Amino acid sequence: MLNETVAGLLNTQVNKEFYSAYLYLDFANFYEDEGLKGFANWYRVQAQEERDHAMLMIQYLQNNDCKVVLESIDKPNIELNQKMDPLKQGYAHEQYVTSLIHNIYAAAYEVKDFRTMQFLDWFVKEQGEEETNASDLIKKMELFGDDAKSLYMLDSELGGRVYAAPSLVL
């Protein structure tokens, strides 16, 4: 049985991951409205990833005989006016999620819950990749976003992203 604090933090994180998916769908809708279907695709794939992160945590909790409690998901309360807004908001959000994962890891470490720490190792690595991807998107938009041809090429590149389910073994 998991430590009560660790289980509670994981349960909260399930809902945070579903919120992340909801947030990224909001970003996808913004870009769809802007006519940037590649950017919209990139964030739809991102939303799928976040949903699967939540599902992995649900499975881990259930594998450890913990009750999963799904809370309501808040509507994203952010203003998206410029093409750069979702990218910057996304980067800040990934940094926030990283801090949440680190907090769960610290709680597991405190009670010597090595199995949960091992489970979270994948998420720690994943968050490093998420932050890098978000930062790279900002850099590319800063470099190419003002030039229509370059923006078209970047949008086309992002349109080629496909979803690949995580291969974490529980």
CATH tag for 4-158 (out of 3.40.50.10490, 1.10.287.130, 1.10.1370.30, 1.20.1260.10): 1.20.1260.10
Rounded to whole angstroms, the Cα distance separating 104 from 157 reads 35
Q: 77-84 — which CB contacts under 8 Å span 24+ positions?
A: 78/23, 78/26, 80/26, 80/27, 80/30, 83/31, 83/34, 83/36, 83/39, 83/141, 83/145, 84/138, 84/141, 84/142, 84/145
For residue 169, what pLDDT is reported? 59
For residue 1, what pLDDT is reported? 79
* Residues 83-133: tens digit of each pLDDT: 999 999 999 999 999 999 999 999 999 999 999 999 999 999 999 999 999
For residue 146, what pLDDT is reported? 82
For residue 138, what pLDDT is reported? 97
What are the mean pLDDT values of the chain's consecutive 10-residue runs (170 residues total)? Answer: 95 98 98 97 96 96 96 93 96 98 98 97 96 96 89 92 74
